[in-house]
Amino acid sequence: MQINLSNLGKRYNYEWIFRNLTYTFESGTSYAILGHNGSGKSTLLTVVAGHNLYSEGEVVYTQDNKIVAPDDAYRHLSLTAPYLELVEEFTLLEMLDFHTRFKPLRKNLSNPDLIDRMRLQRSKNKYVKDFSSGMKQRLKLGLAIYSDTSLLLLDEPTTNLDQEGVAWYQEHVDQNREGRLIIVGSNIQHEYAFCQHHLRISDYHTSPRK
């Protein structure tokens, strides 16, 4: 997927989070959106994902040289972020069965295969509500990284992960980069070290409108 942002802006009340953002995210390439906490990284990612309406400008999605309607963009993307919730009343197996009804897995993986890759074999019948914060984050990442989508959006992907979990993230995102557009929102270098291009959200900050 390719995404073209043209004079994009987002504001809450009278405060512009970013403005005059013109940028192209190319298919098969990895990008990092950089900035301090509260700078607008997550806001931009949710706008790109279609979860958040922008205030001005335009977002155009292209897949296989065809324009994708904004209302259909969600079919081509997967997103993980600290603020997204899991269905905690499901067991792990039930969670994967539910998820894969809407987003099949890459490389013809089965749900048990994904459980193995997430190193959660002993928890397949455990309720998600009883997972540790690190296990929940690994589950979120596994669902996003291994969904068969051409656009992967990762917001602060190693939140709640220990050193072993960070290494797991780096390994699995690297194995699933080919042929995808990946955008990472982060201010931690180990989360976006693989990204070829950096977009600094502070370059598009403006003063509040009078």
Condensed to tens digits (0 to 9), the pLDDT of residues 98-119 reads: 999 999 999 899 999 999 999 9
In the CATH hierarchy, which fold is given to the domain comprising 2-204? Rossmann fold (3.40.50)
DSSP annotation of 175: H
CB atoms within 10 A of CB 27: 15
Paired tokens of 58: 């335009």
Helices and strands of the chain, counted as H and E runs: 6, 9
The pLDDT-based confidence of 152 (bands split at 50, 70, 90) is very high
DSSP annotation of 132: -
**Residue 207 pLDDT greater than 80, yes or no:** no
Q: What is the mean pLDDT of residues 5-15?
A: 95
User: What are the residue boundaries of the structural domains of the chain, listed by start?
Assistant: 2-204
Predicted pLDDT at 206 = 73
The pLDDT-based confidence of 27 (bands split at 50, 70, 90) is very high
Q: What is the mean pLDDT of the chain?
A: 95
Confirm if 37 and 186 have CB atoms less than 8 A apart.
Answer: no
Predicted pLDDT at 200 = 97
Distant-in-sequence contacts of 42-45, Cβ < 8 A, 24+ apart = 42/81, 42/83, 42/155, 42/156, 42/185, 43/10, 43/17, 43/18, 44/10, 44/17, 44/18, 44/185, 44/201, 45/79, 45/81, 45/153, 45/155, 45/183, 45/185
pLDDT, tens digit, 9 for 90 and up, residues 41-91: 999 999 999 999 999 999 999 999 999 999 999 999 999 999 999 999 999
Alpha-carbon distance of 8 to 189, in angstroms, equals: 26
Predicted pLDDT at 9 = 97
Alpha-carbon distance of 9 to 204, in angstroms, equals: 9
CB atoms within 10 A of CB 96: 24
Residue 85: strand, helix, or coil: coil
Predicted pLDDT at 209 = 41
